[in-house]
Structure 1
Amino acid sequence: MDDLFGVAAVPASRFKARLARTLLADGDGFVTRDVPALAVTLEGVRGDRHAGHARPADSRVPWYPRGAPIRNCRQVSLVASDELARIAERLGLEEVRPEWLGANLVVEGIADFTRLPPGTRLHFPGGAALAVEGENAPCRHAGAAVADGAPDAGGRAGLDLAFVQAAKGLRGLVAWVEREGTLTAGDEISVRVPEQRLWRGAR
């Protein structure tokens, strides 16, 4: 289907996926741990270090002063198990675990998961709904966590930077809570992808 400018529009779609694991960042560091379920409110994941309506601006948003309070659209971190396997293969590691990346949710059953467009909604049986903000760009901080966690990393120098390259387009997504509820490992996810059009720039 074309719009008024002759640009093809990808129609909206709905399909199912699976929530394989739920993890919580409730310690002092970056790493998460497995829990059976997560309670989410409009503030984010209850008890998680990334929860909150606002967050301080950082290097991801250089157009704001560092530390200025901004809307927290990064309340939940999501990864896909097949994409983690591809990152591990690129790095020559046996595995890359989601907890090393600070992930809250591990999703299965969505091809090209990291390419899901902003505005995609994920609905869960426990009433919760998440709105995808966008791709979670890989960084050296996560790469350092992989270097520390992987037993076969062998103290390899430069693995933090290698991760940034290997994880491009595969690092997963960040989302914010649109509706409160519960996320339980093993849940079926109802995915709603909005109609998409290519923006052709200012005219």
Structure 2
Amino acid sequence: MPALKTTDHFGEIFWLGQVGDRDAGLRSKSTQSLSLDFAGPAGETHGGLTRPSCSRVSSQYERGTEIRNVRQLSIVSEEELSAIADEMGVARLDPSWFGASVVLRGIPDFSHIPPSSRLQNDAGTTLTIDMQNRPCHLPVAEIKVDHPNEAKGFKAAA
């Protein structure tokens, strides 16, 4: 009996992006495709088989400990970005402001997909969900460029 069950949830890739130099900023650049392997997207600053641990896993590891990198992609939902924009009082949130790799649409409540869930396309390419990326202060600087007054409300709205 298989441990993973097929569901009736179907989504569509709406947008792809890539962060080439994290030191230059969080903003991702739109791209037509991503070339992926087990280290993540080629040329992506978040790629690599390992990474230094950060505050998200500070209960398990001392900050800076080398750990398996399961954060090579940042996948966000078009519907959830729209809901956050509404809450902030702005017309739209550009996914590039978040360093997004993939924007999906059509999967309700995407942020609450359980860890270990698989996103699989018809060709068999499969991404495994590790954990939800909790609301973060880092996108505020990018949002502030276009929405200086509303940017401070991002974390609460997210």
TM-score higher than 0.5? yes
The correspondence for 2:53, drawn from 43, 50, 57, is 57
Partner of 1:156: 149
Task: Please identify the structure whose Cα radius of gyration is greater.
Answer: 1
Residue 18 of structure 1 aligns with an amino acid whose one-letter code is: E
Contact preservation (8 Å) 1:40, 1:128: no
Cα RMSD for the two superposed structures: 1.7
Report the secondary structure of 1:76's partner residue: coil
Structure with more of its chain in helix, by fraction: 2
Indicate the larger mover: 45-54 or 62-71.
Answer: 62-71
Report the secondary structure of 1:15's partner residue: coil
1:178-189 equivalent positions in 2, closer than 5 A: none
Structure with more of its chain in strand, by fraction: 1
Structure 2 residue 26 is matched with structure 1 residue 26:
no
Structure 2 residue 80 is matched with structure 1 residue 89:
no
Structure 2 residue 130 is matched with structure 1 residue 137:
no
The correspondence for 2:9, drawn from 7, 15, 36, is 15
Indicate the larger mover: 54-63 or 32-41.
Answer: 54-63
* Matches of 2:117 and 2:127, distance apart in 1: 8
* Matches of 1:90 and 1:15, distance apart in 2: 26
Q: Which runs of 5+ in 2 are unaligned?
A: none
Structure 2 residue 31 is matched with structure 1 residue 35:
yes
Relative contact order (C-alpha < 8 Å, sep 6+): which is higher? 1
Q: With structure 1 as the length reference, what TM-score do the two structures score?
A: 0.69
* Matches of 1:39 and 1:30, distance apart in 2: 20
Q: With structure 2 as the length reference, what TM-score do the two structures score?
A: 0.87
Q: Which runs of 5+ in 1 are unaligned?
A: 1-10, 168-203
* Matches of 1:164 and 1:15, distance apart in 2: 28
Closer, same or farther: CA 32–126 of 1 in aligned 2, 3 Å: farther
Residue 142 of structure 1 aligns with an amino acid whose one-letter code is: P
The correspondence for 1:110, drawn from 107, 118, 127, is 107
Deviation per CA, 1:80-138, whole angstroms, max 9, x where unpaired?
Answer: 11111111111111211110000000101111111111111011345421000121111
Residue 133 of structure 2 aligns with an amino acid whose one-letter code is: N
Deviation per CA, 1:125-181, whole angstroms, max 9, x where unpaired?
Answer: 454210001211111112222122x2xx2x328x34x211101xxxxxxxxxxxxxx
Question: CA offset at residue 58 of structure 1?
Answer: 1.3
* Matches of 1:88 and 1:141, distance apart in 2: 16
Report the secondary structure of 2:26's partner residue: coil
Closer, same or farther: CA 164–116 of 1 in aligned 2, 3 Å: same
Partner of 2:157: 166
